[in-house]
Amino acid sequence: MIDYHVHPDFSQDAEGSIEAYCERASELGLEEICFTTHYEPDPARRDCEEVHVNGCAQPVDSDWPDAYFAALQAATAKFPSVAVLAGVEVGYEPGLEGIVSDFLRRYPFDFVLGAIHCLDHIAITAGQELDRFKVEYMDQGPEFVAERYLHHLRAAAGCQLFDCLAHLDIYRKYVESLYDQRFGATIDSLLPSVLDFVAQSGTGIEVNSSALRRGNAEPYPALRILKLARDAGVQVFTVGSDAHRPADLGKDLETAVQALEDLGVRPARLRRRKLMPAARIPR
């Protein structure tokens, strides 16, 4: 089993050192673990975002990746049975392409997730910002918000900075339930063309099992979206637990892998942002 979405304590909302996760990975017999700490570079959210190094908060644009890569290298030496990969989960909004591209050029990442965590600088994935979201967006209506989310998703694929889009239908977490069925109807009508665009961009999609830990029957994205994506021609799919503590490492990944196998797809593995062979199951 492999886990391609893991937050060590470099992420401000996560606990557990890189070493603690690797210990857990050894216990579980995981073959590969790709750390994907948060990188949230939006200058408009400078007051909300930080990175932690040895428990100390540092600005997102500081040299924290030096400590991150050093810790990954130390773990690689200490846990030879686990392949330890260097990844990052980039919080993307249109307009951040230059900052993100400069950042990614500076460091030898194996894997880069692009995530829509915010709409117009307000988090849609954090419960503590939900009230702010409601103030800004409830009057806008379900169609507007659904379209805005898909606009961001399309831009994330179009910028071609990311290997995979993280938790593609994360609006299921908080946003969708704020609205009536017009939200889902708008998503359903627009998503096929967005997925066509994602496929053409060469961007992959991750299957994120954290939805299952939160009591959902299906991962992010839902199975019908995964099938649409496969049919649209998306070539790369990864699986990740989105663990924010070592106890959640690898949780429910069998379900995510099974969802892909049902579509004739194997979870992808990457090194230095290049796909390893055998991503597809021969039929």
Which residues of this protein are in contact with Zn ion, per CB under 5 A?
A: 89, 115, 166, 242
Closer residue to Zn ion, CB minimum distance, 3 or 278: 3
203: phi then psi, degrees, rounded to nearest 5: -80, 140
| Shortest reach from residue 190's CB to Zn ion, in Å | 21
Closer residue to Zn ion, CB minimum distance, 218 or 242: 242
Closer residue to Zn ion, CB minimum distance, 23 or 242: 242
88 forms beta bridges with: 37, 112
Q: How many Cα neighbours within 13 Å face the side chain of 62?
A: 15
Closer residue to Zn ion, CB minimum distance, 9 or 89: 89
| Shortest reach from residue 242's CB to Zn ion, in Å | 4
Closer residue to Zn ion, CB minimum distance, 196 or 252: 252
| Shortest reach from residue 5's CB to Zn ion, in Å | 6
Closer residue to Zn ion, CB minimum distance, 94 or 264: 94
DSSP code at position 218: S
Residue number with the smallest Cβ distance to Zn ion: 115
In whole angstroms, what is the distance from residue 155 CA to residue 203 CA? 11
| Shortest reach from residue 283's CB to Zn ion, in Å | 32
Handedness of CA 155, 156, 160, 165 (dihedral sign): negative
| Shortest reach from residue 90's CB to Zn ion, in Å | 10
Closer residue to Zn ion, CB minimum distance, 137 or 220: 220
| Shortest reach from residue 125's CB to Zn ion, in Å | 6
Tokens encoding 203: 């961007």
Rg for the chain, CA atoms, rounded: 18
- Give whole-number Cα distances, 140 to 146, 178, 180, in Å: 10, 12, 13
Tokens encoding 277: 């062979």
| Shortest reach from residue 243's CB to Zn ion, in Å | 9
State the greatest distance between any 2 C-alpha atoms of the chain, in Å, as a whole number: 54
Residues 6+ apart with CB under 8 A from 206: 4, 5, 113, 164, 165, 166, 167, 168, 237, 238, 239, 240
